[in-house]
Amino acid sequence: MLEDALKQIRALLQNQLPTKLDQIELERADGVTMEDVQSSLIEVGGGSTTGRKGTGTGHPDGRQKYPSITVLGEATHVANAPSRRKELTHRISIWITDREVSPDSELAQIKLCRYVEAVERILSSDPTLGGKAVNSAVTDHRYRSVEEVFMRKAVVTMQVYERPSTNSY
């Protein structure tokens, strides 16, 4: 179900992101240092990660640490298959938020792009999400402007396909 997919995505990112970021640093060898993600959260529904003014980035306690990742379950489409199985298609977005204070105006965007690249590499390396899905794929990257000049956000959207047995209902 959606909750299992969200938890698995968060676990994959928490476990593999530091290594992927180190790998990208070594590949680029341009002196840009990537920090490990400081906080992660799962939300279902609209939540507060939509970027609406005054809502923050999905962390209700207001003590946001950057960079952060929020895994958001946006929607699930259910289709009945001809057999005794249902087909579920989950739309999930991964919000990456970073705050970079630097005299280099390009550094914040470069780092955000590298976080997105690391997330996509991790998710594409295991399309079954550790056996929690039949298949998954990243479908979109969006970069959002934020009112604060040092804040950068990106949204990685993905589809997760699942076929749970109706016997489990």
Domain with 13 in it: 2-168
- Does the pLDDT at position 169 exceed 60? no
Contacts of 94 (CB under 8 A, 6+ apart): 9, 13, 69, 70, 71, 72, 119, 155, 156, 157, 158
Within the chain, strands assigned E span: 39-44, 68-80, 86-99, 135-144, 151-162
What pLDDT is attached to residue 84? 65
What pLDDT is attached to residue 46? 52
pLDDT band of 54, cuts 50, 70, 90:
very low
Spatial contact of 108 and 43, defined as CB atoms under 8 Å apart:
no
Find the mean pLDDT for residues 161-165: 76
The greatest distance separating any two alpha carbons of the chain, rounded to the nearest whole angstrom, comes to 60
pLDDT band of 22, cuts 50, 70, 90:
very high
In the chain, the number of structural domains is 1
Q: What's the N-to-C CA distance of the chain in angstroms? A: 11
Report pLDDT digits (tens) over 110-162.
Answer: 899 999 999 999 999 999 998 888 899 999 999 876 666 677 899 999 999 98
pTM of the model: 0.79
Q: Can you give the C-alpha Rg of the chain in angstroms? A: 17
Q: What is the share, in percent, of the chain residues with pLDDT greater than 90?
A: 38
Find the mean pLDDT for residues 47-70: 55
Report pLDDT digits (tens) over 74-97.
Answer: 988 888 756 666 788 999 999 998
Question: Residue 143 sits in a domain of what CATH number?
Answer: 3.30.2000
- Does the pLDDT at position 49 exceed 70? no
CA angle 118, 103, 146 (to 5 degrees): 60
